[in-house]
A and B are shown apart, each in its own frame.
Chain A
Amino acid sequence: MSARLSVAVQSEDFDLRHEHQQLVQNDHGVGAVVAFIGMVRDLNLADDVVALELEHYPGMTEKSLMNIVQQAESRWSLQAARVVHRVGKMYPGDQIVLVLTASTHRGDAYEANSFIMDYLKTEAPFWKKEWTPEGPRWIEARDSDDLAAARWAAQQPTPNP
């Protein structure tokens, strides 16, 4: 049975409970679900962040996210995976991104979830702009994100039973 994979890019907020129910449906083969939620924080480097604006590349973003989720499915044994990424203006405390992974055993769900986030941060065409009391400022990519994604490339994929 192939895994149920889906992605969404939206300006609206998402509901973890609803997304979780949709993900597992009536699949009683699922033994583990890992949920990652990225949030807007009010402090980045030195300034107070009053809002965050997320721009993306419509069309490419969805393809890129699906490609990342498919790569995760080819490396780990997953029953289902779902990525929801918000775009537009958000405020401290808001949810930005949701990654759900479901598997029979927790190891696959944990690792696949981490892999999806690491790749999303370096591959998916999103750009963050912070609004601070001094005005807007684009966030620059960090080398630590590239290193986080690169460690997966250095690892042997887990054989899929």
Chain B
Amino acid sequence: MHLKVLYFAQLREKFGLAEEAVQAPEGVRTIADLMQHLAKRGGVWQETLDGQYAFRVAMNQEMVSQQTALIEGAEVAIFRPVTGG
């Protein structure tokens, strides 16, 4: 599955990356699967995405849950809880 993954604020700085194209292997079907797939890169990816650290995920610019099924070609954004206003 092809996905465009965006990182904002703290996560963009931690990963040193604002966006990337991700080719997820078969078996990666939900947001939680994608987080595990990215966490397998180890280091800061694992520390951030393995569930110990709070973050939110949006798919195609709508907030989604860990159980949400991924959509082919989707834009997935990962970020810390928001602090506007």
A127 and B83 form a contact (CB under 8 A): yes
Q: How far is the CA of A121 from the CA of B84 in the complex (A)?
A: 5
Q: How far is the CA of A120 from the CA of B82 in the complex (A)?
A: 9
The dominant DSSP class at the A interface is mixed
**Interface pick from A17-25, A27-35, A137-145:** A137-145
A121 and B82 form a contact (CB under 8 A): yes
B24-44 at interface with A (beta carbon < 8 Å): none
Interface range on chain A (Cβ under 8 Å from partner): 20 to 34
Q: How far is the CA of A126 from the CA of B62 in the complex (A)?
A: 14
Instruction: From A54, A97, A122, A125, give the contact of B79 (CB < 8 A).
Output: A125
**A-B contact sample (7 more), CB < 8 A, given A57-B77, A60-B62, A125-B77:** A59-B61, A85-B85, A121-B83, A125-B79, A128-B83, A128-B84, A141-B80
Contacts of A128 in B (CB 8 A): 83-84
**In the complex, which of the residues B6, B9, B83 has the most CB atoms of chain A within 10 Å of its own CB atom?**
B83
- The number of inter-chain residue pairs (CB within 8 angstroms) is 72
A56 and B84 form a contact (CB under 8 A): yes
Q: Least Cβ distance of A135 to chain B in Å?
A: 13
Contacts of A85 in B (CB 8 A): 84-85
Q: How far is the CA of A38 from the CA of B62 in the complex (A)?
A: 25
B84 and A138 form a contact (CB under 8 A): no
Q: Least Cβ distance of B52 to chain A in Å?
A: 15
A127 and B61 form a contact (CB under 8 A): no
A138 and B6 form a contact (CB under 8 A): no
A127 and B10 form a contact (CB under 8 A): yes
Instruction: From B8, B54, B58, B62, give the contact of A127 (CB < 8 A).
Output: B8
Pick the 5 closest A-B CB pairs, nearest first.
A126-B84, A141-B81, A127-B9, A60-B61, A121-B85
A104-140 at interface with B (beta carbon < 8 Å): 117, 120-129, 138-140
A125 and B80 form a contact (CB under 8 A): no
Contacts of A123 in B (CB 8 A): 63, 82
